[in-house]
Chains A and B, each alone.
Chain A
């Protein structure tokens, strides 16, 4: 039997019961469609989380204070990050470690901010001037403050676009708010700059923030000069692990701690964060794909069910075909082709459906769902494999029929 004969037979057979063929195919359409859409969503989430981590800056090590423990005593912990252990002097010392390009210092806290009768509560970050370049803070309008303004305890502020609209209304533009006064914890600051929007990240809104000079924050807001975060930028990605080791050793020595497990600070490597986030989103994608895969499995069982019904209904036809000389493989190929055509056609429509879902999600702006070529090819392969797998048993049953019994079948 030629391929052309086979396809002609298949079209006739599937066309004979269009509703049943269509409904069976729908199972595969939904299965493949949801796998494609779910993988696209997973990939989109992964890309967006990675880009927001990268937007923090590149080649970063983040040092945060650890838990402070009572020396001796019961070792009561006050919790990570609560301790006041890192000083400006530590930052200066760290800047001397080989491989360190720049060190940003932060004293941050959340305060109530008022301006012209409106108010908001947001993060106020006291930072040195190196912070802007390390953390990719770009200025839309105005200027970032300098270290000399920090030395002079200047009460100036650079605000994020979200904070700007929270305080000055939705219609406020960056040029309008330069020179305006805002009040942070009772102190009056004048706005000298507005940052470029970085967009929301998976965890926090990086646009809802106010930057003030480091020492100003220490004096007027925090009340002490302990740093809440120190961001170290390594000269390049290769230097990061050696810098991490050296900085840890230096800080342990400066804090007079012998046992590294008792460190009163922690050093986070950005590469580790990216790796962790990737593995989390990877697992998440796998989970979504697995759930979608179950619907694909159910679709495959639907195919098998239909093909078995088909084989039973067409028993006499099979008997006739065998009587006029069809071999086992002729019969088997005929039914296998039917199920493969069903699943591959269903797979193609499913890919289209998944792509439509992904595109619709991207249009809503929630995340950029990207359908990769790999997932399309995999989906196509999987639907063909489902056709073969779930079509194999019914086809074999048809092929193995005894022609005498098949011809007598009522």
Chain B
């Protein structure tokens, strides 16, 4: 359960100029939802993603993730929540170079102090759930294709059994065909494993894979389709 209540984020950019990146955003996401947050660049979706990912805190308002209020924490307390509750998938993959697939997926477990014996089994289970072939487990990231790399990243996000998977433009660096495979992976994880997934994107086709679309513009929610509303028409021509 994710509860976002009247979140505001303001930046003071020199002198008296105040930018409202988020201007009173509220929504609730239940466990097992697959939500796309859409908006053009400058809409505030990145700021929202940082707050949802516990990488940043709002200026005002509250954010409760899986029963824990993360809106006023800082530093290592936020790191602790990220470690336990959130799995990230990034546009630029961010796998460790010169490190095998298996070790990349096990990395979050080392910070969570999971016993050595348990790590490999959990990493292998995640990789299987993300749909990566077992023959690739000992490969290094430079020996994999873009789609395979992103599935390793998804497996890494899953391995800690997080309350929320947060994917930031996960298909931004992939071609259309590979994008479809990665998005299908997310759909499968949501449908078959009941994972709560938030997908940040600016592309309509990508957002349409989700079961709910929240549109952001100028720091405010422009529309919220609600759950199970698939392929709703775009209320106005895409600005991107």
Contact assessment for A1 and B56 in the assembled complex, using a CB-CB cutoff below 8 Å: no
Q: Which of B56, B94, B108 contacts A316 (CB 8 A)?
A: B94
Per-residue contact bits, chain B 71-99, to A (CB 8 Å; 1 contact, 0 not):
00001100110111001101010101111
In the assembled complex, B55 has its CB within 8 A of some CB on chain A: yes
Contact assessment for B75 and A330 in the assembled complex, using a CB-CB cutoff below 8 Å: no
Q: Determine the main DSSP class of A at the interface with B.
A: helix
- Of residues B55, B79, B90, B113, which shows the largest number of chain A Cβ atoms within 10 Å of its Cβ? B79
Which residues of the other chain, A, contact B98 by a CB distance below 8 angstroms?
12, 16
In the assembled complex, B232 has its CB within 8 A of some CB on chain A: no
A323-B153 Cα distance, complex, nearest whole Å: 13
Which residues of the other chain, A, contact B96 by a CB distance below 8 angstroms?
317, 320
Which residues of the other chain, B, contact A325 by a CB distance below 8 angstroms?
79-80, 82-84, 108, 111-112, 160
A321-B96 Cα distance, complex, nearest whole Å: 10
Contact assessment for B94 and A404 in the assembled complex, using a CB-CB cutoff below 8 Å: no
Contact assessment for A324 and B107 in the assembled complex, using a CB-CB cutoff below 8 Å: yes
A317-B84 Cα distance, complex, nearest whole Å: 19
Contact size class for A? 20 to 34
A325-B92 Cα distance, complex, nearest whole Å: 18
In the assembled complex, B18 has its CB within 8 A of some CB on chain A: no
Contact assessment for A324 and B88 in the assembled complex, using a CB-CB cutoff below 8 Å: yes
CB distance from B138 to the nearest CB of A (A): 15
Contact size class for B? 20 to 34
A325-B82 Cα distance, complex, nearest whole Å: 5
CB distance from A383 to the nearest CB of B (A): 27
In the complex, the chain B residue whose C-beta lies closest to that of A322 is B79
CB distance from B53 to the nearest CB of A (A): 7
Per-residue contact bits, chain A 392-410, to B (CB 8 Å; 1 contact, 0 not):
0000000000011001000
In the assembled complex, A364 has its CB within 8 A of some CB on chain B: no
A317-B98 Cα distance, complex, nearest whole Å: 12
In the assembled complex, A151 has its CB within 8 A of some CB on chain B: no
Q: Which of B56, B75, B108 contacts A324 (CB 8 A)?
A: B108
- Of residues B82, B111, B160, which shows the largest number of chain A Cβ atoms within 10 Å of its Cβ? B111
Contact assessment for A323 and B50 in the assembled complex, using a CB-CB cutoff below 8 Å: no
Which residues of the other chain, A, contact B112 by a CB distance below 8 angstroms?
325
Contact assessment for B94 and A327 in the assembled complex, using a CB-CB cutoff below 8 Å: no
Given contacts A323-B82, A323-B88, A325-B79, contact A2 B110 (CB under 8 A): yes
A1-B110 Cα distance, complex, nearest whole Å: 5
Binding site for A on B (CB under 8 A): 50, 53, 55-56, 75-76, 79-80, 82-84, 87-88, 90, 92, 94, 96-99, 107-108, 110-113, 116, 156, 160
Beyond A316-B92, A325-B108, A403-B55, 18 additional pairs, beta carbon < 8 A: A1-B113, A12-B98, A316-B94, A320-B94, A320-B96, A321-B111, A323-B82, A324-B87, A324-B107, A324-B156, A324-B160, A325-B160, A326-B83, A326-B111, A327-B76, A327-B80, A404-B55, A407-B94
